[in-house]
């Protein structure tokens, strides 16, 4: 029987994941049943937001058990089909995880027919990261023209997209990132007004105040509670905080995660803070994807991808998300691209 490879959880992670939390195994390619399709995946994502489910904690996805495939978005091609909605050769966006093959009844599969952009964009700037930026600003922040916006972890796909969308509304946008290279890209390519390398400044609070001297209308945070707490006193009256991600907190035990101290500003400055799970906006995904696509095609929205080769390298690609080595949307090519 023909076989394929996949990456499963070997044991729950404690702190920053390591290679021994993952296992590469081999399975027989399954036979398809009535109404099913067999998909050969060629791209899969590594996502920092999936960190929590590796420790047995339910998040917006259910916690993984040892032996289960690591969750992620994927792009693949239909190799066999008993489903009239899908033909052999169709390229599809699914959620098969870190696996070279997946079996589906068609539910949740999206046929990709728009060829204006590379397939990889569908699990990057047109996928959950880009959609998170779009709806975080639109639904949660209710962003207005000409406001002051601070974006943390700004060189990631979520942060870079959020900053550029805010610039398109005439906002003054400051980003925070972790290297001179990332800061230069945000400033020179993405058009951010100010960019702070948090690793290079002696006083981050002062740097933020200097970049946003009149206060901040919207904080789009991808880092975590300590960052939010330091920015709260700098928020304008009626400011909004979008809790998008918590990359600095994902690897900490709940008891070790910092809390908020500056909560009095929520009263005095009438602040609002709200988290988002972008799947709540599912019905509007089509509208958002078309908006983002058109901006990219017109040269109004920039993105950056890192594509790492080989399914065996997925664990190290994922671990690198928490060490600062990643720059842009990190994907892994796990199979041959379609012709």
Residue 259 lies in a domain: yes
Report the 10 Å Cβ neighbour count for 51: 22
Residue 138 lies in a domain: yes
Give the C-alpha separation, 131 to 305, whole Å.
Answer: 16
- 15-26 tens-digit pLDDT: 889 999 999 999
Looking at the fold, whether 141 and 117 belong to one and the same domain comes out as no
Supply the pLDDT for residue 63: 85
Residue 28 lies in a domain: yes
Give the CA distances from residue 246 to residues 85, 233, 250, 295, 325, in Å, rounded to whole numbers and listed in that order.
38, 20, 6, 28, 17
Looking at the fold, whether 316 and 271 belong to one and the same domain comes out as no
Report how many domains make up the chain.
2
Identify the CATH number of the domain in which residue 136 sits. Answer: 3.40.50.720
Tokens of 209: 């105040």
Residue 292 lies in a domain: no
Identify the CATH number of the domain in which residue 58 sits. Answer: 3.90.180.10
Residue 268 lies in a domain: yes
Supply the pLDDT for residue 58: 66
Looking at the fold, whether 186 and 218 belong to one and the same domain comes out as yes
Residue 295 lies in a domain: no
Looking at the fold, whether 142 and 154 belong to one and the same domain comes out as yes
Looking at the fold, whether 137 and 104 belong to one and the same domain comes out as no
Looking at the fold, whether 209 and 327 belong to one and the same domain comes out as no
Identify the domain containing residue 176 by its residue range: 128-279
320: left (phi over 0), alpha (psi -120 to 50) or beta: alpha
Give the C-alpha separation, 53 to 31, whole Å.
Answer: 29
Could you tell me which residues are beta bridge partners of residue 102?
39
Looking at the fold, whether 88 and 142 belong to one and the same domain comes out as no
Looking at the fold, whether 37 and 62 belong to one and the same domain comes out as yes
Looking at the fold, whether 168 and 250 belong to one and the same domain comes out as yes
Report the 10 Å Cβ neighbour count for 5: 17
Supply the pLDDT for residue 50: 87
Looking at the fold, whether 116 and 134 belong to one and the same domain comes out as no
- 100-153 tens-digit pLDDT: 999 999 998 999 999 999 999 999 999 999 999 999 999 999 999 999 999 999
Looking at the fold, whether 133 and 117 belong to one and the same domain comes out as no
Supply the pLDDT for residue 1: 73
Q: What is the pLDDT along the chain (339 residues), one digit of tens a residue?
A: 799 999 999 999 988 899 999 999 999 999 999 999 999 999 999 998 888 888 876 666 788 899 999 999 999 999 999 999 999 999 999 999 999 999 999 998 999 999 999 999 999 999 999 999 999 999 999 999 999 999 999 999 999 999 999 999 999 999 999 999 999 999 999 999 999 999 999 999 999 999 999 999 999 999 999 999 999 999 999 999 999 999 888 888 888 889 999 999 999 999 999 999 999 999 999 999 999 999 999 999 999 999 999 999 999 999 999 888 889 999 999 999 987
Pairing label, strands 194-197, 172-177: parallel
């Amino acid at each position: 029987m023909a076989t394929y490879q996949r990456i499963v959880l070997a044991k729950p992670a404690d702190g920053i994941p390591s290679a021994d939390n993952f296992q590469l195994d081999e399975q027989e390619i399954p036979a398809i049943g009535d109404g099913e399709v067999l998909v050969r995946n060629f791209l899969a994502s590594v996502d920092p937001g999936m960190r929590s489910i590796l420790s047995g904690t339910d998040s917006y996805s259910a916690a993984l058990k040892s032996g289960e495939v690591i969750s992620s978005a994927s792009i693949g091609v239909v190799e066999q089909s008993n489903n009239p909605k899908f033909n052999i050769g169709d390229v599809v966006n699914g959620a098969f995880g870190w696996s070279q093959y997946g079996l589906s009844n068609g539910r949740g599969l999206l046929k990709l027919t728009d060829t204006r952009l590379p397939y990889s964009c569908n699990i990057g700037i047109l996928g959950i990261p880009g959609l998170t930026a779009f709806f975080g600003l639109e639904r949660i922040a209710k962003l207005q023209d000409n406001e002051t916006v601070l974006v943390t972890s700004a060189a990631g796909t979520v942060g870079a997209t959020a900053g550029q969308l805010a610039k398109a509304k005439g906002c003054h946008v400051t980003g925070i990132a972790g290297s001179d290279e990332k800061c230069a890209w945000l400033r020179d390519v993405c058009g951010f007004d100010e960019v702070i390398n948090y690793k290079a400044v002696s006083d981050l609070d002062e740097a933020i105040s200097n970049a946003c001297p009149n206060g901040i209308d919207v904080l789009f945070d991808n880092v975590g509670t300590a960052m939010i707490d330091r920015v709260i006193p700098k928020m304008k009256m009626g400011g909004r905080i979008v809790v998008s991600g918590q990359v600095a907190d994902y690897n900490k035990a709940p008891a070790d995660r910092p809390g908020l101290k500056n909560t009095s500003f929520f009263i005095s400055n009438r602040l609002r803070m709200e988290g988002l799970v972008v799947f709540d906006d599912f019905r509007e995904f089509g509208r958002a994807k078309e908006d983002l696509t058109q901006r990219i095609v017109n040269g109004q929205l920039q993105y950056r991808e890192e594509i790492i080769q080989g399914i065996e390298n997925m664990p190290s690609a994922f671990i690198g998300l928490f060490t600062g080595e990643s720059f842009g949307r990190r994907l892994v090519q796990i199979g041959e691209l379609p012709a």
